[in-house]
Amino acid sequence: MFKLKKLVAAALAGVMMAVAAGCGGGSADNTPAAGNGGGKRVGVAMPTQSSQRWIQDGANMKEKLEALGYQVDLQYAEDDVQAQVSQIENMITNGANCLVVASIDSSALVNALAQAKANNIPVIAYDRLLMDTDSVSYYATFDNKGVGTLIGKYVEKQLGLAEGKGPYNVEFFAGSPDDNNAHFLNDGLFEVLQKYIDNGQLVVPSKQTDFDTICTLRWSQETAQRRMEDLISGYYTDGKKLDAVISPFDGISYGIAAALEGAGYQVGKNWPLITGQDAELMATKNIISGKQTMSVFKDTRNLADKCVTMVQAVLEGKEPEINDTTSYNNHKLVVPSYLCTPVAVDKNNYQKELVDSGYYKADQLK
Ligand code: BGC
């Protein structure tokens, strides 16, 4: 009886494998099943599921690649750099034909990517530039400096800085030092706001403005919360008003808001202007309730579309569409890039940008 069960199970497994090979576009002779992907394997390495945007990025990429007949190996490394190295090595061992990588630490993948190159596997950098490597063909991202410019311009407008208003007390947060995007964003931000610090319209009571002091390793909410708690207890206990906190990411904004709540700040009373990035669902709800002032919406559907066209092009030996050949020098080469356009959102335009565009459904925001 036991033997029979085993036999039946083995036969069933065989049938299931045959079905999978036939319907997933993954037949051994690489015959295209759905779309023209021909069952080629695409490894998609994502940094973490702790933030909503990367979950959407991964899901969009998988869906769009599968619709074209590719087999997708989607992996998240939960911000563990070594885990991401192992995942990429496994993708190479498992016969990936192309790799799409959103790195955790942009410089930590040099050896793994060299292995990809040695195996003639093209690599596309997704959202975050892969640094210090020549094993990268293209880069699909948003205008990262533009994200900082949008945040800076928003603050400039809201506070009436161009009209000479102020002084205002502000504090700054930056993203992860091992993520090239954090530096680009910060450059765009300070290009707009530095002059107002210099002329005294913006006052930073902590005096913390240099990147190394304001950065947040791994864009961590908890780290940001602790730093905000220290800022409040160190510089705002004498009743000094806090007018704005400049955050580069919604997750960091949640940490900032938690620290403020813990210290007794109240929305609508002494709550500061708080910025963000990604227009996450929770951030959007916070924008509606007044707990966060703005965010920068990066439509991950567009990014996935662009990245998928790059995958297709490299696998078919064609040139993908690019719109930037100068901005992204990774210390080994200037990586040909496609930059999608970010959009600032606040309570006045979230309906148009996020709901009418179908990114969120109205009832998700209730
Ligand atoms: C991305 C941002 C994101 C941040 C934290 C950056 O590389 O460009 O959109 O907010 O990582 O996950």
Averaged pLDDT, groups of 10, the chain, 366 residues long: 40 37 31 64 98 95 97 98 98 98 97 98 98 98 98 98 98 98 98 98 98 98 98 95 98 98 97 98 98 97 97 95 97 98 98 97 94
CB count, 10 Å around CB of 366? 7
What atom in ligand 1 is closest to the CA of residue 181? 7
Whether residues 172 and 294 fall in one domain? yes
Domain count, the chain: 2
Element (H, E) at 53: helix 52-67
Residue 353, domain member (yes or no): no
* Residue 36 confidence (pLDDT): 73
Residue 175, domain member (yes or no): yes
Residue 229, domain member (yes or no): yes
Which of 129, 219, 223, 281 should be mutated for ligand 1, with most atoms under 8 A from CB? 219
Nearest CA, atom 3, ligand 1: 249
CB count, 10 Å around CB of 11? 10
Domain boundary among 270, 298, 326: 298
Whether residues 154 and 277 fall in one domain? yes
Residue 278, domain member (yes or no): yes
What atom in ligand 1 is closest to the CA of residue 277? 10
- CA-wise closest residue to 215 among 178, 243, 259, 189: 178
Whether residues 294 and 304 fall in one domain? no
Whether residues 122 and 47 fall in one domain? yes
Whether residues 253 and 115 fall in one domain? no
What atom in ligand 1 is closest to the CA of residue 180? 7
Residue 362, domain member (yes or no): no
Whether residues 178 and 255 fall in one domain? yes
pTM score? 0.90
Residue 125 alpha carbon to ligand 1 centre in Å: 14
Residue 247, domain member (yes or no): yes
Whether residues 19 and 116 fall in one domain? yes
Q: Specify the pairing of strand 168-172 against strand 244-246.
A: parallel
Identify the domain containing residue 162 by its residue range. Answer: 144-298
CATH of the domain at 312: 3.40.50.2300
What atom in ligand 1 is closest to the CA of residue 185? 8
Whether residues 304 and 293 fall in one domain? no
Whether residues 25 and 165 fall in one domain? no
Residue 349, domain member (yes or no): no
Cα(55)–Cα(218) distance, integer angstroms: 16
Instruction: Please answer whether residues 254 and 220 qualify as being in contact, where contact means their C-beta atoms are separated by less than 8 angstroms.
Output: no
Instruction: Give the pocket of ligand 1 (CB within 6 Å).
Output: 51, 53, 127-128, 175, 179, 181, 219, 249, 277-278, 298
Residue 109 alpha carbon to ligand 1 centre in Å: 18
* Residue 247 confidence (pLDDT): 99
Whether residues 112 and 201 fall in one domain? no
Instruction: Please answer whether residues 39 and 31 qualify as being in contact, where contact means their C-beta atoms are separated by less than 8 angstroms.
Output: yes
Residue 222 alpha carbon to ligand 1 centre in Å: 16
* Cβ-based burial of 255 (10 A; exposed 0-12, middle 13-18, buried ≥19): buried
Residue 354, domain member (yes or no): no
Nearest CA, atom 10, ligand 1: 249
